[in-house]
Structure 1
Amino acid sequence: MLRILGFLALLVPLAAGAADAAAMARQGNGKGAAPCMACHGVDGGGMEANGYPRLAGLDAAYLRHQLDDFANGTRTNPAMQPNASALSEDERAALAKYYSAMPLPARFAKPAAAPDARGERLAERGDWNRGLPGCVQCHGPGGVGVGANFPPLAGQPAAYLTAQLTAWQQGTRRNDPLQLMQHVAKQLTPQEIQAVAGWFVAQPLPAKGDTP
């Protein structure tokens, strides 16, 4: 009986953490952090028109790392920095787990955009004459993402992908391991950045547990 009570006691803070994260996503934390869903959508799928990224289904460690980097100024963004800074370490961890566990919105299974041949070539094969690897070599088949360091590119708004590649290129984003993305982005023209972003938008994103 004591063992059962002890196990249940461990579950209480876990359930409370999930509930707190859900409340923060809907209402903010009352200490300066705005509701996450205001920009990232009720379903965590982001907002294509505004270029706000999808959070649902991303790796928890990756999300936590980005929130921490926004909070400490390593990664800059006029909207995210004040919001992440208003979150405690525990709140950032809880939100990362909450969005990681959120199911992928069904609309990502069959994207409507048409693939771009130039974007496909760069995404899948790169251009080794320029020392440029294919995006999928790190980000997985179809850009589904690999672990904490290589997030999904499929299922992200084209405007968001374009903005991030441009930021890597210009050196205004620098929080990647070994500065790999800065090297890659600097090899791309603005037209190529748009083509790659357009290709990933056109890729279907399998649900968790499915085979890419």
Structure 2
Amino acid sequence: MIPVDRMLLSSLMLFFVAGAHAADGQKVFTQGGAQPGATACLACHGADGLGLAAAGFPRLAGLSAGYVRKQLEDFRSGARANPVMQPLAKALSDEEIQAVSQTLAAMPAPAPPPLTRSAPAEGVGARLALRGAWERQVPECVTCHGPGGVGVGEAFPPLAGQPAAYLAGQLNAWRDGTRRNDPNDLMGHIAKALTPEEITAVADYFAKIDSQEGKP
């Protein structure tokens, strides 16, 4: 039989070895992953993770860890296409994806105002966001993405404050079928019912929501 003290020592050694090899999400975010192709997230998404609107790079800070993890896994598998993110995600290990997803979820992010269907809806973008277009079976965005586009759970990410170019780009990708990694292709159905002008309008609406004053 192995003495208790030896068993305890072996267990502690295994614990510390495992800890030494655990992925560091903050390091992945600021410096990149262990593989050369896994560049630092902040290079495109900003040191605070709030995105770079001028370049169309979205906010990652405060997004659900489950949502971020799924997107990285989809980039890695090819289920979601992007020439920048696909090779980067392929260079990340499972542990690094898990760690950086949790790090991003814990980063502070602005809280959008609680705009719901009862809020005034002036303009095309506001009407789509708050009222939808039910004659075309298009629900209002806040039904799934939460009041003010705050995001709900792992399937419906925040919309408020994301760059308009990014939001429009994703809607157009769903519209033309180049993005199809959401549950039951819900967004594909919605985006195909929208005109290019409506896509631009609703993307602008969410991009301009003022989290300080509670006004779009």
When normalised by structure 1's length, the TM-score is: 0.83
1:39 is aligned to 44
Q: 1:58 aligns with which of 58, 63, 70?
A: 63
For the pair 1:22 / 2:9, whether they are aligned, the reply is no
**In the alignment, which residue of structure 1 is the partner of 2:102?**
97
- Determine helix, strand or coil for the equivalent of 1:126: coil
Alignment partner of 1:49: what SS? helix
SS in structure 1 at match of 2:53 = coil
What do residues 151-179 of structure 1 show as CA deviations (whole Å, max 9, x unaligned)?
10012110000000000000000000011
More divergent stretch after superposition (29-38 vs 87-96): 29-38
**Residue aligning to 2:89:** 84
Distance 1:69 1:142 in 2: 27
Deviations 1:3-57 (A, max 9, x none): xxx8xx69x949x64xx21111111124120111000000000110111010000
Aligned partner (choices 157, 177, 181) of residue 183 of structure 2: 177
Confirm or deny: 8 A CA contact 1:144 1:205 kept in the other structure. Answer: no
| Higher mean C-alpha displacement, 195-204 vs 70-79 | 195-204
Note if contact 1:116-1:198 (Cα within 8 Å) is conserved in structure 2: no
What CA distance in whole angstroms lies between the structure 2 residues aligned with 1:116 and 1:168?
A: 26
> Offset at 1:205?
4.4
**Unpaired segments ≥5 residues, structure 1:** 207-212
Is it true that 1:203 corresponds to 2:203 in the alignment? Answer: no
CA distance in 1, matches of 2:183, 2:139: 16
Select the structure of larger CA radius of gyration: 2
User: Retained in 1: the 8 A contact 2:112–2:148?
Assistant: no
> 1:204: how far off?
3.7
Report 1 or 2 for greater relative contact order, CA contacts < 8 Å, sequence distance ≥ 6.
Answer: 1
Number of residue pairs the alignment of both structures matches: 192
Aligned partners of 1:205, 1:180: CA distance in 2, in Å?
27
1:184 partner SS: helix
Runs of 4+ in structure 1 over 6 Å off: none
Q: Which amino acid aligns with 1:22?
A: Q
Aligned residues: percent identity? Answer: 55
Distance 1:25 1:56 in 2: 11
Alpha-carbon contact 1:64-1:92 (below 8 Å) kept: yes
State which drifts further: 127-136 or 74-83: 127-136
Q: CA RMSD in A?
A: 2.4
